[in-house]
Amino acid sequence: MRKNKAIMIGAGLSNMAAAVYLIQEGKWQGDQITFYSLDDHGANDGATTDSVTDEYWNKNHPLENKKGYVARGGRMLNYRTYVDLMDLLNRVPSTTEPNMTAAEDTRDFDAKHRTFDKARLLEGDKGIIDGGKLGFNNQDRLMLTKLIAMPDSEEEKLDNVTISEYFKDDPHFFNTNFWMMWETTFAFRLQSSAQEFRRYMHQMIYEFTQIEHLVGVNRTRYNQYESIMLPLINYLKDQGVKIVLDRLVTDWDFKDTPMQDEITVTGLEMLNTKTNKKEHVDVDDDTAVIFTNGSITDSATMGDYDHPAAENMDYGAASSLWKKASERFYNVGNPDKFFADRNASEWVSFTLTTSDHVLLNEITRITTQVPGNALNSFISTSPITELGQRDVNMSIVVHHQPHFTTQKPNESVIWGYFLYPRRRGEFVDKQYIKMTGKEMLQELIGQLSKVDPGPGNIRDKESEIMDSVINNIPVYMPYASALFNNRAKTDRPKVIPAHSTNLAFTGEFVEQPYQMIFTEQSAVRSGEIAAYHFAGIPMANLVKTPRYDKDLKTLARAAKKMFD
């Protein structure tokens, strides 16, 4: 249904995208669009620590040490599949590179800094291991082939099936190099949805042949807040879009209809988090409400070098509002599937800032690759999974430096994460979630020492490295993998639910054809669909999505790789 005004709930990538498409394709004026949100960092944020410590989720957990930088999460790009994201970035100017769009900026940087990971998997006593040997047996090949061969029209067969359930008769699969690389490249867990795993196998099928080197990965010049979000924010502000932060939208007013199946928003309740006062905004007949109904960084909390990140038990701002809508309407999904199972979704990450490059140089020596290429995953010495198998216990990403525009030449920033935060460290005997930033660094140095080819060992420089630390910020994210949680297809609302007259859902918790989530691609496309719907633009004008899963050459290469 065509509208002439829009209220955006949430100021993440998907709603920013919706606003850009409304302006550029729908020919709207910026002042027709208003955002209400708690912050505008997006899920893949990056900023100086002092600029984010007082944000909503961390306000009850003040930090003593606010130095250094923090990136709660991070995601690698991929031009070949992230076609909607690249289309979007081509529409806004870069904030750091004159006379370039944000897309040209990324393409320029990436062309000069191609990814070729040489140390994707590392194992004690062996050092770098050859991840190119995927390690499949015939049962693994059969199960994976069945998954890839399942057509889109039959994916409901995987409703409410976890990955571990799908491979329940084939535990060997989880001990392969393939699984250890796939789980840590994309952040799948054993409890994650087999349906989503299938979508990844389809959309990322060509990555199958090159996953040990990540050559299909593209990267932004700086962190994704400065290279993706800021260009969008600046563009929208220049267009006159109103972006109101410090607003927590808490409830809906819906139109009463006889069958209660028409979805029409008539008003929004919100809390001004600065004044702590309630506010009400009327929604008239000519206004669309575009709602990002979940965020993987909701309820995230930060610690510092001497303190672990506190555990925030809040349900999440966006998902709480989604839950209120789902309690009223039958066709807008089930948020509990994603936000009431932390055991399946939580992670801990850390962002380490040092005042020199000693650690960076040591990692370069041990992994034999320059910063910017790496996603290094360390395999445990002993069995750590519920199936009694070894697994990756931590991963690090060493970005090209500088990773932040304000980073000084002498500083290094390194990011890492623990996919299973309740597991215990090998070098610091406590759960990762309970570790301080200092203890996480000690664990990292321990892992690096285990795979150090010598001569000498990184341990020889441990005190020098510890002395160089400006800060190490642990971040607990209870919902980091929530978008992968086990689900049925009906557990997520469609971007435009049936019988909706003015409400659209965007982001990573919506259902749209073929798209895999936890990608900037699906987030942007959901916003694009919502914008086209309310601006009356035919869906045939959406960016065309390539289908590598139907490309015979790609399929043949994948089949060959399966036998390596």
Partner 1 sequence: MKKHLFGLSLTLGAVVLGVAYVAKKTGFFENDSHLYDEFESR
Query: What is the rounded distance in angstroms from the CA atom of residue 313 to the CA atom of residue 303?
Result: 15
Output the smallest distance, CB 452 to partner 1, in A: 46
The footprint of partner 1 on residues 145-184 (CB under 8 A) is 149-154
Q: Is 513 in the site for partner 1 (CB under 8 A)?
A: yes
**Residue carrying the six token digits 């550029």:** 24
Q: Is 237 in the site for partner 1 (CB under 8 A)?
A: no
Q: Is 543 in the site for partner 1 (CB under 8 A)?
A: no
Q: Is 496 in the site for partner 1 (CB under 8 A)?
A: yes
Whole-Å CA distances, 240 to 30, 42, 54, 107, 355: 5, 20, 27, 28, 40
Burial of 504 from C-beta contacts in 10 A (0-12 / 13-18 / 19+)? buried
Query: What is the rounded distance in angstroms from the CA atom of residue 483 to the CA atom of residue 293?
Result: 11
Output the smallest distance, CB 119 to partner 1, in A: 36
Nearest alpha-carbon partner for 345 in 182, 190, 485, 474 = 485
Give the nearer residue to partner 1 in terms of CB position, either 191 or 293.
293
For partner 1, which residue of 54, 498, 556, 560 counts as binding (CB under 8 A)?
498
Q: Hey, is 251 helix, strand or coil? A: strand
End-to-end Cα distance, the chain: 52
Q: Is 532 in the site for partner 1 (CB under 8 A)?
A: yes
Sheet order of strands, 287-292 included:
242-244, 33-36, 5-9, 287-292, 503-506
Q: Is 540 in the site for partner 1 (CB under 8 A)?
A: yes
Give the nearer residue to partner 1 in terms of CB position, either 152 or 165.
152
Q: Which two tokens stand for residue 169?
A: 């008769």
For partner 1, which residue of 13, 441, 537, 558 counts as binding (CB under 8 A)?
537
Query: Phi and psi dihedrals of 121, rounded to 5?
Result: -125, 135
For partner 1, which residue of 138, 313, 538, 563 counts as binding (CB under 8 A)?
538
| Residue span binding partner 1 (CB under 8 A) among the ranges 11-19, 253-261, 407-415, 538-546 | 538-546
Output the smallest distance, CB 154 to partner 1, in A: 7
Give the nearer residue to partner 1 in terms of CB position, either 259 or 539.
539
Nearest alpha-carbon partner for 371 in 398, 352, 351, 410 = 398
Please provide the DSSP assignment of 379-392 as one string: EPSS--STTS---E
- Indicate if the alpha-carbon torsion angle 195, 196, 197, 199 is positive or negative: positive
Q: Which residues, 6 or more positions from 495, have their beta carbon under 8 angstroms from its beta carbon? A: 504, 505, 506, 510, 511, 512, 526, 529, 530, 533
SS3 content of the chain, % helix, strand, coil (to 5): 35, 20, 45
| Residue span binding partner 1 (CB under 8 A) among the ranges 123-131, 240-248, 273-281, 539-547 | 539-547
Q: Hey, is 324 helix, strand or coil? A: helix
Give the nearer residue to partner 1 in terms of CB position, either 1 or 310.
1
Nearest alpha-carbon partner for 299 in 26, 35, 39 = 39
Q: Is 546 in the site for partner 1 (CB under 8 A)?
A: no
Give the nearer residue to partner 1 in terms of CB position, either 399 or 525.
525
Output the smallest distance, CB 2 to partner 1, in A: 5
Give the nearer residue to partner 1 in terms of CB position, either 479 or 532.
532
Output the smallest distance, CB 292 to partner 1, in A: 17
Radius of gyration in angstroms for the set of CA atoms belonging to the chain, rounded to a whole number? 23
For partner 1, which residue of 542, 546, 563, 564 counts as binding (CB under 8 A)?
542
Give the nearer residue to partner 1 in terms of CB position, either 149 or 556.
149
- Report yes or no: 379 and 393 within 8 Å, Cβ to Cβ: yes
How big is the site for partner 1, counted in residues (CB under 8 A)? 26
Output the smallest distance, CB 288 to partner 1, in A: 10
- Is-catalytic flag, 330? no
Catalytic residue among 69, 166, 200, 532: 200
Query: What is the rounded distance in angstroms from the CA atom of residue 16 to the CA atom of residue 524?
Result: 8
Q: Which two tokens stand for residue 134?
A: 């995927």
Output the smallest distance, CB 513 to partner 1, in A: 4
Output the smallest distance, CB 471 to partner 1, in A: 45
Give the nearer residue to partner 1 in terms of CB position, either 150 or 244.
150
Q: Is 536 in the site for partner 1 (CB under 8 A)?
A: yes
Q: Which two tokens stand for residue 216?
A: 């299909």
| Residue span binding partner 1 (CB under 8 A) among the ranges 182-190, 258-266, 298-306, 537-545 | 537-545
Q: Is 1 in the site for partner 1 (CB under 8 A)?
A: yes
Output the smallest distance, CB 382 to partner 1, in A: 40
Q: Is 529 in the site for partner 1 (CB under 8 A)?
A: yes
For partner 1, which residue of 20, 321, 533, 558 counts as binding (CB under 8 A)?
533
Residues forming contacts to partner 1 in the complex (CB under 8 A) are: 1-2, 149-154, 494-496, 498, 513-514, 529, 532-540, 542, 550
Give catalytic residue positions: 200
